Amino acid sequence: MNTDKNTVIGFVLLAGLFFMYFWYTNKQQTEMASYKKHFDDSVAMIKATADKAAALKNPIKLDSASEAAGIVKSLDSVKEQFTYLENEVVKVKLSNKGGQVVGVTLKKYTNYKKENVFLGDSSSLNYPVNLGNNQTVQINQVLFPTTTVLPTENGVQKLEYIFTTPAGKIVHHQFSLAPNKYTIDWNIKLDGTDQLLTNNQLNLIWDVHSAQQERTSKYERQMSNICFSEGGEFDYISSKTTKAFEKPVQWIGLVQQFFTTTLIAKDGFASGKIDWQRRIDSGDGLAALQAQVQTKLNGSNANVALSLYYGPNDFGILKTQAPEMEKIVNLGRDLYSFVRPINKYILMPVFDFFAGFIKNFGWVIFLLTIFIRVVTSPLTYSSYLSSAKMKVLKPELDGIKKRLGDDQQGFAMEQMKLFREAGVNPLGGCIPALLQIPIFFALYSFFNSNISLRGQSFLWSHDLSSYDSIFTLPFTVPMGFGNHISLFTLTAVITSMIMSIYNMAMTPTQDNPALKYMPYIFPFMLLFIFNGLPSALTWYYTVSNVITLLMQLVIQKFIINHDKILAAIEVKRKTPKKKSNWQSKYEQMMDAQKKVQELKDKTKK
């Protein structure tokens, strides 16, 4: 990190992109407030309509035999019964009311309360079924009278709910759970589809809610979004609250920071739409999703093959569930999609390699940092060499400035000429600062979405996927700082400050006051940017700063020889130079501007 003019330009660009990113993500929270009332009113209207429809359609006068069979009952009179399917990673809770999954416990993950993560609470899947005699019932209003736990085959557990309408048509809800899987396969089998469904179309409504699992619900809400595959291509919505599908839909997922609840249609849904909303209250609710999807069935008997994924946002696991589902893991999107290849093909494989033989993820990040610094060291060396050349040329530049006085255009032309003669790249000093931009955003996405860091402790940090806190403030500091103090943030800021002080000592005095104070301003800005970020990222930045400082000391003290650099410059200056087209045009432009300025000065006189 150098403090010449071009390095400061790099820092300004870096800081600008930092703030642009966090402004963009935080803006989503404020946008949600304007939609809250509309969403709540819509949900209330939908619920009221459904309740009214059920009330009108359910007062079917059933004879005692029908009632004994439990064909249809109102919700108030139904005694709900639960059945469980369980493997090594999940415990699935199913209900005979609607014949569906009502919640899944993840056995290998705990939440901020130190309890097992539970997904799918207050969620439901629903579709209308014709009973005959122009009467319809919503499937979640039905008490399935028959529950059959089928024999296990090859470790796969199976369960079937059966409901028979007064017209003798049968609805089967068949569930299966394989060993070590987070996916519950759900097969809807309809005997008499042409009479059970209007126009042979299944109109499925999926209501699902997500609840807080991490330390702060505010940050987890910010990370929440809706992901889906439409027309075989991954997409997502984060700030919008509605989406109408124009192409067939393969899957829809309500995504939290580290967990996902996803509905997968093996043959796809023909059409549909989704409405969702982030919660903005102080409760532990994060978001609510309602998906309305349709599929056309053929024949009098039909099967609809679905799957429900309740599990972690693990890249490897999601990749095996459905095409493009691994993109739920945010390794870089939209404006920052350019970092996704860096994460996918470089950082992730290197991280996994180190994690294969080192159990503590703090030391994995340490080795990852060393790897990054080694790979980028040639550029770092060329930057320091360029800075050393600039330092050698400083006396000549001072002489030119003294000779030309306030003639800025003349100074720029002479400076360009001197750099060309000496073979110096004036932009070389800002290369490391610019290089940090894609690396930082790649690591920000990687550490924020890497579930393997969740709950992993290192030194004083109890969770590398979240900020570390050594002190909680009795108030909240604005501008993203929060109500805590992160020690890793302090180490990152302090090491940045030490580097700035060192570089100021190694760099000749700058005449521009902004150049003098910019190295101190930047670490101060980092204090607000980093304090709420994952401690994995601030630990990386601390290590990176220390390594950079050590490299700088070694290069400048033991590798770079200023006398040899000066001698090489003198040899370079005696070598005939050929101007590039850009240099020629630049000098022509500066010469024209100088003549215009001289003409203006004469006119004033």
For residue range 443-483, list pLDDT tens digits in order.
888 998 899 999 899 999 999 988 888 887 887 777 767 78
- Secondary structure in 3-state letters for 193-243: HHHHCHHHEEEEEEEEEEECCCCCHHHHHHHCEEEEEECCEEEEECCCCEE
Q: Are strands 201-211 and 285-296 parallel, antiparallel or unpaired?
A: antiparallel
- What is the maximum alpha-carbon separation in the chain? 112
Question: Considering only CA atoms, which of 27, 208, 57 is closest in space to residue 137?
Answer: 57
Least Cα distance to 184 among 158, 161, 213, 162 occurs for 158
pLDDT score, position 5: 52
Name the strand (E) or helix (H) holding 377: helix 377-404
| Helix pair 431-449, 377-404: axis angle to 10 deg | 140
* Residues of the chain where predicted confidence (pLDDT) is lower than 70: 1-78, 282, 387, 409, 421-433, 480, 503-519, 560-566, 568-605
pLDDT of residue 346: 92
Question: Which residues lie closer than 8 Å to 364 by C-beta, 6 or more apart?
Answer: 351, 354, 355, 358
What's the confidence (pLDDT) of residue 361? Answer: 94
Residue 311 contacts residue 260 (beta carbons within 8 Å) = yes
Distance CA(558)–CA(554), nearest Å, equals 5
104: its two tokens: 């899944």
Following CA atoms 498, 500, 505, 506 in sequence, which dihedral angle do they give, to the nearest 10 degrees? 110
What burial class does residue 405 get, using C-beta atoms within 10 Å of its C-beta: 0-12 exposed, 13-18 middle, 19+ buried?
Answer: exposed
With CA atoms as reference, report the closest residue to 270 among 295, 288, 236, 289.
295
pTM given for the model: 0.76
Q: Is 293 within 8 Å of 269 (Cβ atoms)?
A: yes
Phi, psi of 140, deg, nearest 5: -80, 0
The CA distance from 570 to 446, in Å, is 47
Question: Can you name the CATH fold of 58-329?
Answer: Beta-galactosidase; Chain A, domain 5 (2.70.98)
DSSP state of 129: E
| Antiparallel, parallel or unpaired: β 285-296 and 156-164 | unpaired
- Output the six-digit token pair for 36: 């809250």
Under a CB-based contact definition with an 8 Å cutoff, are residues 541 and 373 in contact? Answer: no
What pLDDT sits at residue 7? 52
Residue pLDDT, tens place only, 482-530: 788 889 999 998 998 888 777 666 655 455 555 566 667 777 788 888 8
First to last CA, the chain: 46
pLDDT of res. 202: 93
Do residues 418 and 396 make contact, with C-beta atoms less than 8 angstroms apart?
yes
Q: Where are the domains of the chain?
A: 5-24+339-573, 58-329
Beta strand 201-211 with 156-164 is: unpaired
Q: 504: which residues sit within 8 A by CB, 6+ positions away?
A: 3, 516, 519
Answer for the pair 385, 560: CB distance below 8 angstroms, yes or no.
yes
